[in-house]
């Protein structure tokens, strides 16, 4: 395995095309994947791993699901990209618009990052305001204005989490703790005239899985509406993961705009942003907010996404079944471990702390060492978990309650 990573490092920066894949926080070389089928990954050194990462969420139907593979094969025969409108785009767009009350119109892009970046521009163009408010520990892709952490010390002074981001850009981003109503209300009060949008993962999955406290999302909706601020739900993970629709249906809170990705591409690079007609009509060519993409709405990706969503739509008991498996596992976990587990639907995170985790500060309060040991021990036994302690694990429609037993402590 070593030689594969060494070889990769010669030609690819850090040996990977996305940093978390490098297993840096674990301190071993990453596994290379040769192929995958259903709930299993096969590594390049011929090991079989039970997959709880699922490409970070998209593979809700399991890997190489025939439903998706057949749709893709059919689309491939017709050509792979035209840079012109296709019926495939309208078809997937209609499925999504029908599934979300809050989405009248949508636009497809090629990643979640691109979708968020475009949505932010649109929100700024629509409101004619500059500032955006986000929450610590929520991830919205790697565009400049969103790589922002909580200001350390001096309140209101944001810091970038990456080098190479000018202060002039991030000075318009405010980041505050999740689940903290008081700070939110104070921040909006202070900046209301300048805030274009509040962006939030309604169920954050990027600080480990954290649940919104009762009333928190409703409160965001109320305060943003009162202040003419666009509320954006980043449902790149939760869209079509928790139900056929998004977390907004589970919690019954309607945002002005929604970001989608991951599942809607069925394993291909797709992102999307959608919202009310009034907002979306401000995009070029009808409006004056520019946004474009050579491969946006790619026909192969549309086919994979459509096949995935049609399958989910036709068999909605899938959601309660997956949820039942994770619920059962979580009860089991709690009866034999003191470590905190957060879960909803087919998502769960085992936190390496015995304290509750409701925000990023609490999520950071884990034992890195315990995480590392847990990850490696499971990997050695053929279990593949997300290789970072700030991630959510997933199950697919292929996983069973028996599979979950392998996750329990000894």
Ligand X SMILES: *Cc1c(COP(=O)(O)O)cnc(C)c1O
**From 118, 160, 206, 243, residue interacting with ligand X (rule: CB under 6 A):** 206
Task: Using alpha carbons, list the distances in angstroms from residue 377 to 25, 36, 367, 407.
Answer: 15, 21, 15, 10
Using CB under 6 A as the binding rule, whether residue 141 contacts ligand X is answered as yes
Please give, one letter per residue, the 3-state secondary structure of 309-362.
HHHHHHCCHHHHHHHHHHHHHHHHHHHHCCCCEEEECCEEEECCCCCCCCCHHH
Q: How far is the CB of 220 from ligand X (least distance, A)?
A: 16
Using CB under 6 A as the binding rule, whether residue 139 contacts ligand X is answered as yes
Stretch of 44-52, 63-71, 201-209, 358-366 lying at the interface with ligand X (CB under 6 A) = 201-209
Q: Is 262 a catalytic residue?
A: yes
Q: Which of 51, 136, 234, 403 is catalytic?
A: 234
Using CB under 6 A as the binding rule, whether residue 248 contacts ligand X is answered as no
Q: Quote the DSSP letter at residue 38.
A: B
Residue nearest to ligand X (CB): 112
What is the Cα 78 distance to its own chain's centre? 31
Plot region of 18 (φ>0 → left; ψ -120 to 50 → alpha; else → beta): beta
Stretch of 179-187, 234-242, 298-306, 308-316 lying at the interface with ligand X (CB under 6 A) = 234-242
d(C-alpha 331, C-alpha 329), whole Å: 5
d(C-alpha 381, C-alpha 398), whole Å: 19
Using CB under 6 A as the binding rule, whether residue 346 contacts ligand X is answered as no
d(C-alpha 66, C-alpha 71), whole Å: 8
Q: How far is the CB of 265 from ligand X (least distance, A)?
A: 8
Q: Which of 39, 129, 134, 262 is catalytic?
A: 262
Contact 154, 174 (CB under 8 A): no
Close Cβ partners of 162 (under 8 Å, ≥ 6 residues apart)? 142, 147
Q: Quote the DSSP letter at residue 147.
A: -
Q: Quote the DSSP letter at residue 268.
A: S
Structure tokens at 331: 């009860």
Using CB under 6 A as the binding rule, whether residue 246 contacts ligand X is answered as no
Using CB under 6 A as the binding rule, whether residue 237 contacts ligand X is answered as yes
* Residue among 122, 18, 401, 99 at smallest CA distance from 263: 99
Count of residues of this chain found to bind ligand X when the rule CB under 6 A is applied: 15
d(C-alpha 275, C-alpha 255), whole Å: 8
CB nearer ligand X, residue 115 or residue 403: 115
Q: Quote the DSSP letter at residue 146.
A: G
Q: Is 139 a catalytic residue?
A: yes
**From 62, 208, 261, 305, residue interacting with ligand X (rule: CB under 6 A):** 261
Q: Is 40 a catalytic residue?
A: no
CB nearer ligand X, residue 125 or residue 205: 205
For strand 341-344 and strand 347-350, is the pairing parallel, antiparallel, or unpaired? antiparallel
Q: How far is the CB of 138 from ligand X (least distance, A)?
A: 7
Q: How far is the CB of 271 from ligand X (least distance, A)?
A: 6
Q: How far is the CB of 293 from ligand X (least distance, A)?
A: 13
| SS3 assignment, position 53 | coil
**From 26, 99, 199, 236, residue interacting with ligand X (rule: CB under 6 A):** 236
What is the Cα 198 distance to its own chain's centre? 17
Please list every residue from 76 through 115 that binds ligand X, using CB under 6 A. Answer: 111-113
CB nearer ligand X, residue 107 or residue 140: 140
C-alpha R_g of the chain: 21
**From 89, 201, 256, 398, residue interacting with ligand X (rule: CB under 6 A):** 201
Using CB under 6 A as the binding rule, whether residue 178 contacts ligand X is answered as no
Number of CB atoms found within 10 A of residue 153's CB: 7
CB nearer ligand X, residue 136 or residue 403: 136
d(C-alpha 76, C-alpha 78), whole Å: 5
Using CB under 6 A as the binding rule, whether residue 323 contacts ligand X is answered as no
CB nearer ligand X, residue 116 or residue 217: 116
**From 140, 241, 249, 352, residue interacting with ligand X (rule: CB under 6 A):** 140
Using CB under 6 A as the binding rule, whether residue 234 contacts ligand X is answered as yes
CB nearer ligand X, residue 62 or residue 141: 141
Binding site for ligand X (CB under 6 A): 111-113, 116, 139-141, 201, 205-206, 234, 236-237, 261, 271
Active site members: 139, 234, 262
């Amino acid at each position: 395995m070593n030689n594969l990573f060494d070889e990769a490092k010669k030609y690819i920066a850090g040996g990977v095309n996305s940093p978390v894949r490098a297993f840096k926080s674990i301190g071993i070389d990453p596994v290379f994947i040769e192929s995958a089928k259903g709930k299993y990954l096969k590594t390049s050194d011929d090991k079989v791993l039970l997959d709880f990462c699922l490409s970070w969420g998209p593979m809700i139907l399991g890997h190489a699901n025939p439903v998706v593979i057949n749709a893709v094969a059919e689309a491939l025969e017709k050509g792979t990209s035209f840079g012109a409108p296709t019926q495939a785009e309208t078809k997937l767009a209609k499925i999504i618009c029908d599934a979300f009350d809050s989405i009248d119109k949508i636009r497809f892009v090629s990643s979640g990052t691109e979708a968020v970046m475009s949505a932010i521009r649109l929100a700024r163009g629509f409101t004619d305001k500059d500032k955006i408010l986000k929450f610590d520990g929520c991830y919205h892709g790697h565009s400049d204005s969103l790589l922002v952490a909580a200001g350390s010390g001096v309140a209101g002074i944001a810091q970038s989490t990456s080098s190479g981001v000018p202060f002039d850009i991030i000075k318009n981003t405010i980041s505050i703790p999740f689940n903290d109503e008081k700070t939110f209300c104070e921040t909006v009060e202070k900046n209301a005239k300048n805030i274009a949008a509040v962006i939030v993962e309604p169920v954050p999955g990027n600080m480990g899985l954290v649940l919104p406290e009762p009333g928190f999302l409703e409160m965001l909706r109320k305060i943003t509406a009162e202040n003419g601020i666009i509320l954006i739900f980043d449902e790149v993970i939760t869209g079509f993961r928790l139900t056929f629709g998004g977390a907004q249906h589970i919690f019954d809170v309607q945002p002005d705009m929604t970001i989608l990705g991951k599942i809607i591409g069925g394993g291909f690079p797709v992102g999307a942003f959608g919202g009310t007609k009034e907002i979306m009509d401000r995009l070029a060519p009808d409006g004056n907010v520019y946004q474009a993409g050579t491969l946006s709405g790619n026909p192969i990706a549309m086919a994979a996404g459509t096949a995935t969503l049609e399958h989910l739509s036709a068999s909605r008991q899938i959601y309660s079944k997956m949820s039942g498996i994770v619920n059962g596992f979580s009860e089991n976990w709690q009866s034999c471990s003191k470590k905190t587990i957060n879960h909803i639907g087919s998502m769960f995170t085992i936190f390496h702390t015995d304290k509750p985790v409701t925000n990023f500060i609490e999520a950071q309060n884990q034992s890195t060492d315990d995480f590392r040991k847990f990850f490696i021990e499971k990997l050695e036994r053929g279990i593949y978990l997300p290789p970072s302690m700030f991630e959510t694990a997933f199950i697919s429609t292929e996983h069973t309650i028996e599979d979950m037993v392998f996750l329990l402590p000894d």
